[in-house]
Amino acid sequence: MRESIATTAGHWGNWGGNQAFDYAEFVDAATDEDVVAAVARAATTGHGLRVAGSGHSFTPIVQSDHTLLSVERLTGVTSADEATMRATVRGGTRLWDVGAPLWDHGMSLANQGDVDAQSISGAIATGTKGSGPAFGNLSSTVRGVRLVDGNADVVAITESDADALHAAQVSIGMLGVFLDVDVQAVPAYKLREQNAILPFDEVEANWTTYLADYRHFSFWWMPTPASSAMYDLGTVPPDHCVVKLLTEEPADAADVDAEPGSRTGRAHLIYPDATTEARFHELEYMVPAEQGRDALEVLRTLMLTKHTDQISPVQVRWQKADEAYLSAQYRRDTMSLSVSGQVGTSYEPFLRELDHELQQFDARPHWGKVHYLTRDRVEALYPRYDDFQEIRRRFDPKNLFLNPHLRELFG
């Protein structure tokens, strides 16, 4: 007999400590049927329902009007087809639990971000990504979804309904509760790190070469002597960069067990960084790749001339275009700019001014990180906004999966 599900009121807070709310009901789903029952109850009562993943987002996307649902027990890689390189992963599975099972089947995710603590459904819902101009975000690998929609029906979205799939790939949880996701993997591979600390001028001079020569090129630029400590990046002088240079190696290449920055090992073990303590609240915007240098210069100028009290490193990464309607990479290759406000400091004026300055580049946000979008800006930034809305209403006619934050943008 399965464990009973809790239905008591309580309080929820996120990883970053900047989002918290009280909920009226908590459902700890042990089975798909528990999810269906929770959504059916919400549909009958008209109460809102949201899913809590790992709590790794800095935006109020988890806040629920009434019911908070956990799918943390719906986990595991349940199938892996070595012929098609496709795998089915339960919605509550943490990314750190995906790599090893895939590896056992000769498969790897094509790309990952710097953190692997997120649930796979939460990472997909917010458009989480890694770096590499030849690789899309995690959502772009999704080839199918099985979810519980706003009518409490279990619905399968496949490639045969391309519009629904492109809406589901980045949906911020507005189409329903993901039970399973089908992802397109690639043959297993290892990564070799050749990381370095370099002056910014040298990084800028070799920018194009690094993009061409490495599978994954990204960097953190340090505006102040205190910047590197914020992300545990060691001792790095100001106006220098911690540069990540990763090359792909065969799955049978020898492991090199060395310090981070000079290792060779399985891809899923090399991608994540060690930052586990949220001492910052992060903003990340994606701009068209061809405008990346100009956008970075705007950010550097703000930090060096006007907001000199801000010490955050600036992370720069690249992503390939995709077809997901709410993706920051929708039909354009992007360069991402990530910068954080330090907890306990007055960082809001800086982030708001940066948001304003990046509007000239039609910057789109990572949905799980601090942003200042309004409904009119969302409509202007995402060409398929109306198509997404039509599909959202089809899957959630009673708006069960909206909350105050999402209602302002999509209600």
Structure confidence by residue, pLDDT tens digits, 45-73: 999 999 998 898 999 999 999 999 999 99
The set of residues, in sequence order, having a beta carbon less than 8 Å from that of 162 and lying 6+ positions away, is 323
Q: Where are the beta strands (DSSP E) in 24-110?
A: 25-28, 49-52, 67-70, 77-81, 86-90, 107-108
How far apart CA 217 and CA 209 sit, in angstroms, is: 10
DSSP-assigned beta bridge partners for residue 284: 338
Quick one: pLDDT band at residue 313, thresholds 50, 70, 90?
Answer: very high
pTM: 0.95
The set of residues, in sequence order, having a beta carbon less than 8 Å from that of 341 and lying 6+ positions away, is 280, 281, 283, 310, 312, 347, 348, 350, 351, 370
For residues 106 and 135, is the Cβ–Cβ distance under 8 A? no
pLDDT at 170 over 70: yes
For residue 82, the Cα-to-chain-centroid distance in whole angstroms is 26
DSSP 304: I
Nearest of 320, 353, 355, 352 to residue 337 by alpha carbon: 355
Average pLDDT, the chain: 95
pLDDT at 7 over 90: no
Structure confidence by residue, pLDDT tens digits, 27-45: 999 999 999 999 999 999 9
How far apart CA 382 and CA 314 sit, in angstroms, is: 25
What backbone torsions phi and psi does residue 195 show, to the nearest 5 degrees?
Answer: -80, 160
Helix (H) or strand (E) holding 298: helix 292-301
